[in-house]
Structure 1
Amino acid sequence: MMDPSAKEKEALQLLAEADKKVRGAQSFFAGLFGSSSRLEAACDSYSRAANMFKMAKNWSAAGNAFCQAAQLHLQLQSKHEAATNFVDAATAFKKADPQEAINCLLRAIEIYTDMGRFTIAAKHHVTIAETFESDLGDVEKAIGHYEQAADYYKGEESNSAASKCLLKVATFAAQLEQYQRALDIYEQVGAGAADSPLLRFGAKDHFFRAALCHFCIDPLNARLAVQRYEQLFPAFSDSRECKLLKKLLDAHEEQNADAFTDAVKDFDSISRLDQWLTTMLLRIKKTIQGEEEEDLR
């Protein structure tokens, strides 16, 4: 069985070697006779040390060693290697210090965008967004990085990856009660899906979510939106989502909380509602008069 302390000891030796090589590369004679080979050797030692620290599960030390290798690669004008090391550092830091992982990915993104590698930059923006979302609980910052990723994906004609990121933005925007922002995205992605034979099946869900966002702003707008979606995508009329929306709109107009609840229960018994849909439907239900009193009984 591997002894973590032995691996850590080995890593520390490699770090000392790397530091020595860097100092040697900065000496007067190295300046005269070229220091790049010593710096390349130091990069290699830092990377090996980082991997030893990973085996010893010392994630912060691994991240720091990868960062040192990345900085030297930048000095040597080896941009691709530097970016790769920053990404490796981020992977290690993610287990110990999510914010530091984000900082490393931002350094990598800077290099990739400078090199015109926008698809890979977008991928790392998604990772940052996910880290803000799941590790740091900062939805606003997650939204910003999903939007940036979508922007880069669009520029590279990766439309399906862009839509995926935008749908995450819409999900969060609606949770934050930014309904107009959310419904604009759902309508845009829904219209694109309606025109594509491969994506048509998903269009009804996007229009369903857009209509619920409309409903949160103004029920009359929601009714007009449903009519618009039926014209834009005739298959929507026969969908269970469209039929549910019409029942909910009628129940709301009649201020009938029981009819509203029954319609939701019927739908849920066949197609399970996810957490987002449940939250939205509860928000809408609470706007029916008398609902608060009923909840208190």
Structure 2
Amino acid sequence: MQVNTKKSLGGDRKIKDTASTGPPIHALIDSTFGHTTSHRIFTVPLYGRNTRKISNMTQDPRVLLQKADKALSGASGGFSWFGGRTEKYESAADLYTQAANAFRVQKMSKEAGQAFEKAAVIQTQNLNEPDDAANTLQEAFKVYRKSDPEDAARVLQSAIQHYVLRGNLRRAATQQQYLAEVYEVELGDMKKALEAYEKAAEWFEGDNAEALANKHFLKVADLAALDGDYYKAITNFERIGRTSINNNLMRWSVKDYLLKAGICHLATKDLVETNRALESYRELDPAFASMREHQLLVDLTEAVEGGDQEAFAEKLFQYDQLSKLDKWKTTLLLRVKNNIEEAEEDFS
């Protein structure tokens, strides 16, 4: 350690220069708190709501639920001479949320969702905090989704309604997408799923999120076609094709949109309109005329016009060797093939 000698009123004195090494950390702590020992051990206590929540996550959720019920009863009943009723409602909502999370940890989804809903009711009716209530309902949706999808749809609809009233279309659209997925996957209600996807698409479009809007309009088209509403599907496929043709990121997908629209035209049995549509696709995208998707539509249209099931199947087989037909296309093309068979039976 380097030693400097400095002049002072009391004469020469030696001062240790500790700049290069710095004082030991315990010396800094001791000097701060007025201690002289260099061997004290300091611990930092944990305080606050977050710590209590972490602790309560390991508690019996039913005990927390009882505390929440008691807190709500205390806030609702009698008179509050010294104020603090708001704080009591906040405490009740907080306890319900803690109980919900404790139920969630124990994978008790139904009970967790119900506790979240009770917290949301307090936040809405007693605390006038609709934003917090909507967020709480989203949590209820998450825990309900797999075990109680109908309840999941119900609480999410309430949250979505709040976002719409707030004018937050992007958030409403995102949650509407989740609602549509529940209808489609968990509940198997294709009609409600289609309606929900369409509404999500319109809200994304209203928020100038074109890519997200197109994604959901495509979903609408897919579901509409599977449900037999071919004209609705055609409208959406062609619409997205037109909006994507000048977008470098989406242009490559236009051929698939037009192929799907063409298949839907074939499913309508209106061959005049099918040929008219093919002509319009060539005008929309001149490059489409040289693509395999266009040639497939031409070949299939000729097979349908000639009532030739074998030619229809052969053209599909050849196409499938290079470009695998997905489940959606296979389903729709099987319907078209069945139409050929039915036409032959009617003729005979």
TM-score with structure 2 setting the length: 0.79
Distance in 2 separating the partners of 1:32 and 1:171: 62
| Greater RCO structure (CA 8 Å; 6+ sep) | 1
Distance in 1 separating the partners of 2:158 and 2:340: 50
Kindly state the Cα deviation for residue 93 of structure 1 after the two structures are TM-superposed: 1.0
> What SS does structure 2 have at the residue aligned with 1:191?
helix
State the partner residue of 1:65.
115
State the partner residue of 2:277.
225
Distance in 1 separating the partners of 2:273 and 2:81: 72
Contact 1:149–1:162 under 8 Å retained in 2: yes
Q: In structure 1, which of residues 182, 185, 194 is the aligned counterpart of residue 245 of structure 2?
A: 194
Task: Map residues 1-297 of structure 1 onto 2, 5 A cutoff.
Answer: 10-30=60-80, 33-74=83-124, 75-217=126-268, 218-289=270-341
> Structure 1's 289 and 42: CA in aligned 2 closer, same or farther, altered over 3 A?
closer
> Structure 1's 269 and 31: CA in aligned 2 closer, same or farther, altered over 3 A?
farther
Distance in 1 separating the partners of 2:298 and 2:99: 63
Contact 1:170–1:181 under 8 Å retained in 2: yes
Kindly state the Cα deviation for residue 95 of structure 1 after the two structures are TM-superposed: 2.3
RMSD between superposed Cα atoms in Å: 1.8
Contact 2:57–2:98 under 8 Å retained in 1: no
Q: What amino acid sits opposite 2:186 in the alignment?
A: D
Q: What amino acid sits opposite 1:272 in the alignment?
A: K
Kindly state the Cα deviation for residue 28 of structure 1 after the two structures are TM-superposed: 3.1
Contact 2:110–2:147 under 8 Å retained in 1: yes
Contact 1:93–1:101 under 8 Å retained in 2: yes
Distance in 1 separating the partners of 2:342 and 2:203: 48
Kindly state the Cα deviation for residue 7 of structure 1 after the two structures are TM-superposed: 7.0
Kindly state the Cα deviation for residue 52 of structure 1 after the two structures are TM-superposed: 0.7
Kindly state the Cα deviation for residue 29 of structure 1 after the two structures are TM-superposed: 3.4
Kindly state the Cα deviation for residue 32 of structure 1 after the two structures are TM-superposed: 5.5
Q: What amino acid sits opposite 1:98 in the alignment?
A: P
Which has the larger Rg?
A: 2
4+ residue segments displaced more than 3 Å: 6-9, 289-293
Q: What do the CA deviations read for 1:235-293 (whole angstroms, capped 9, x no partner)?
A: 21121110111111122222221111111001111111111101111111122258878
Provide structure 1 residue ranges, at least 5 long, that are not aligned to the other structure.
1-5
> Structure 1's 273 and 16: CA in aligned 2 closer, same or farther, altered over 3 A?
same
More helix by share: 1
State the partner residue of 1:3.
none
> Structure 1's 292 and 14: CA in aligned 2 closer, same or farther, altered over 3 A?
farther
Contact 2:244–2:251 under 8 Å retained in 1: yes
> Structure 1's 117 and 171: CA in aligned 2 closer, same or farther, altered over 3 A?
same
Contact 1:8–1:56 under 8 Å retained in 2: no
Distance in 2 separating the partners of 1:61 and 1:256: 60
Kindly state the Cα deviation for residue 143 of structure 1 after the two structures are TM-superposed: 0.8
Q: What amino acid sits opposite 1:77 in the alignment?
A: N
> Structure 1's 31 and 142: CA in aligned 2 closer, same or farther, altered over 3 A?
farther
Distance in 2 separating the partners of 1:62 and 1:292: 59
> What SS does structure 2 have at the residue aligned with 1:196?
coil
Provide structure 2 residue ranges, at least 5 long, that are not aligned to the other structure.
1-55
Distance in 2 separating the partners of 1:40 and 1:67: 14
Q: What do the CA deviations read for 1:56-105 (whole angstroms, capped 9, x no partner)?
A: 11110000000011111112111221111101001111122100000010
Distance in 2 separating the partners of 1:92 and 1:249: 49
Q: What amino acid sits opposite 2:154 in the alignment?
A: N
